[in-house]
Amino acid sequence: MRTELIDRTRTALGQAGYALSEPSALRSASFDLVARRSDQVLLVKVFSNVDSLGEAVARELRVLCGLLRAAPLLVGERASAGPLEDSVVYVRHGVPLVTPGTLEQFVLEGVPPLVYAAPGGFYVNLDGPRLRDLRAERNLSLGQLAEAAGVSRRAIAMYEEGMGALVDVAERLEQFLEEALVQPVALFQPPRESEPPQYDPAAPREALERAVLQHLQALGYRVVPTGRSPFNAVSQEQRRDELILTGVGEMDADLGERAKALRSIGSIVEREVVVFVRDRKQREHVEGAALITQGELERMDETADVLDLIRRRARAGEG
Are 140 and 68 within one domain? no
Are 234 and 306 within one domain? yes
Q: Domain holding 235: CATH number?
A: 3.40.1350.70
Are 102 and 126 within one domain? no
8 A C-beta contact, residue 214 and residue 242: no
Q: Cα separation of 75 and 113, whole Å? A: 14
pLDDT tier, 167 (very low <50, low <70, confident <90, very high otherwise): very high
Q: Cα separation of 78 and 84, whole Å? A: 5
Domain tally, the chain: 3
Are 85 and 128 within one domain? no
24: pLDDT strictly greater than 70: no
Q: What is the pLDDT of residues 85-138, one digit of tens each?
A: 999 999 999 999 999 999 999 999 999 999 999 999 999 999 999 999 999 999
Residue 196: inside a domain, yes or no? no
Q: What is the pLDDT of residues 27-38, one digit of tens each?
A: 568 999 999 999
315: pLDDT strictly greater than 90: no
8 A C-beta contact, residue 259 and residue 286: yes
Domain, as residue range, for 44:
2-113
In this prediction, residues 150-162 reach a mean pLDDT of 96
pLDDT of residue 206: 87
Q: Domain holding 155: CATH number?
A: 1.10.260.40
In this prediction, residues 44-69 reach a mean pLDDT of 92
In this prediction the pTM is 0.91
Q: What is the pLDDT of residues 86-99, one digit of tens each?
A: 999 999 999 999 99
In this prediction, residues 40-54 reach a mean pLDDT of 94
Residue 192: inside a domain, yes or no? no
Residue 195: inside a domain, yes or no? no
In this prediction, residues 182-201 reach a mean pLDDT of 79
Q: Cα separation of 272 and 10, whole Å? A: 24
